[in-house]
Amino acid sequence: MLLTSLPSLSSIPLRRPVLKGASALCLVGLTLACNAYADSVPSQDKNFMTKAAEAGNAEVAASKIALEKSSNPDVKEFAQKMIGEHTQVGNQLKQLASGKDVSLPSEPSLVQRTEIAVLEKLKGSTFDKRYASMIGVSAHEDAVKLFQKNSTSAKDPDVKNFAAQTLPGLQQHLQMGRDLKQKLDTAKK
């Protein structure tokens, strides 16, 4: 008979230490997964951080070009300020993102890179006016809208605080950009 040739259950050695170890490992994995989920940043906040990084990268890249190409001292002064302040804010954003395990882009978006490439081909007062319009005004209008929205609607409190603390500086940059644009538009041609 087949049944008599099988060993009884009592004669099979139990592997309790292995089961205990496997159970503990599963419990640790489940705990880590739950903690990772609890600490994750909502997708809208990740999207904000990505857009903020791209915007800052675009302003720094275009401003570096302005330092090289422009002979206008007002444009150069504005560009230098944008490089310094947007680099500082970018570093703060990188630190925030790193603490949240969010990876950020290291360059402007594809659209921004295309606009910068067009800007780079311009010369003289045409370059200065386009830089003031594109970076001084348009880019800062977009950034102010982005940061205003996220200073109130971000779900992660650290992201919300970053947006709220950065917003006044961006508003100041926008006003400076508008003033520069106006000055360049009214200058002798």
* Residue 16 lies inside a defined structural domain of this protein: no
How big is the chain by its Cα radius of gyration, in Å?
A: 28
Spatial separation of the C-alpha atoms in residues 56 and 88, rounded to whole Å: 10
Instruction: State the DSSP code for 122.
Output: -
From the list 97, 188, 187, 93, the residue with the least C-alpha distance to 143 is: 93
Q: Greater confidence, 132 or 28?
A: 132
pLDDT confidence tier of residue 40, bands split at 50, 70 and 90? confident
For 123-144, the pLDDT digits (tens) are 999 999 999 999 999 999 999 9
* Across 96-121, average pLDDT: 97
Residue with structure tokens 């705990």? 31
* Residue 48 lies inside a defined structural domain of this protein: yes
> What is the predicted pLDDT for the residue at 21?
54
The beta strand positions in the chain, using DSSP E, are none
pLDDT of 48 above 90: yes
* Residue 136 lies inside a defined structural domain of this protein: yes
Residue with structure tokens 């490992």? 25
Spatial separation of the C-alpha atoms in residues 33 and 39, rounded to whole Å: 10
CATH number at residue 127: 1.20.1260.10
* Residue 31 lies inside a defined structural domain of this protein: no
Q: Which of 17-26, 93-102, 131-140 has the lowest mean pLDDT?
A: 17-26
* Residue 79 lies inside a defined structural domain of this protein: yes
- What is the chain's mean pLDDT, rounded? 87
pLDDT confidence tier of residue 5, bands split at 50, 70 and 90? low
* Residue 32 lies inside a defined structural domain of this protein: no
* Residue 29 lies inside a defined structural domain of this protein: no
> What is the predicted pLDDT for the residue at 187?
85
pLDDT of 74 above 80: yes
pLDDT of 43 above 70: yes
Query: Domain of 129?
Result: 42-186
Whether the model pTM is above 0.85? no
* Residue 24 lies inside a defined structural domain of this protein: no
> What is the predicted pLDDT for the residue at 35?
40
From the list 79, 61, 60, the residue with the least C-alpha distance to 70 is: 79
Q: Which of 27-31, 54-58, 161-165, 185-189 has the lowest mean pLDDT?
A: 27-31
Q: Greater confidence, 5 or 105?
A: 105
Cβ of 97: how many Cβ atoms within 10 Å? Answer: 21
pLDDT of 160 above 90: yes
Spatial separation of the C-alpha atoms in residues 125 and 68, rounded to whole Å: 14
pLDDT confidence tier of residue 36, bands split at 50, 70 and 90? very low
Domain count within the chain = 1
Spatial separation of the C-alpha atoms in residues 10 and 94, rounded to whole Å: 61
